[in-house]
Structure 1
């Protein structure tokens, strides 16, 4: 997975060195980290027909705002099912604040809109 070099300006230099390698004009995720990350090319609207995954964390920031409210809720429901027990779902502040799911608990940290999948539900 390659990222345009301009994206690197928002990352501290020690983090860039630890997690990325600069190749020509792009950053590449470091090889020792890459094998622990799942990169997928799927439509977020078609995750319910994608292969089943149990992910540790999903970061879905500034994506949901592109969709109607009802679609946002549907996407969040599918993402909740893609997480392992105790998995983390992070969405942008202001995205569906009223979303609730039986599998998920909302973080009490008010600086981020984060949810954890309950360990006792499957």
Structure 2
């Protein structure tokens, strides 16, 4: 079953964190990704740019609204995603508890499904 681990943590400027903290986090993420890969469960992982670089689309009265920045005004950001393929939710939780952001933020686990161009849902769907 596919699960996406949504990595939430407080957004901060690099200057606020300091080079040492950033390097430590990068090493932790690299080690985590390597461990997932070696276990054969990693489908993909992505670190997202800061939420200030995002664009949010909504429909208002039938017209497209394009908003710079994140939709939600919050101090935490969705900082990255990891997609894994494991047996069940218990296994996803075991991998999620190893994700570095669980130490300073939150890891949300959502089951996923794959939609093919033929219009067929596969996986968890």
TM-score (norm 2): 0.24
Greater share of strand residues, 1 or 2?
Answer: 2
TM-score (norm 1): 0.24
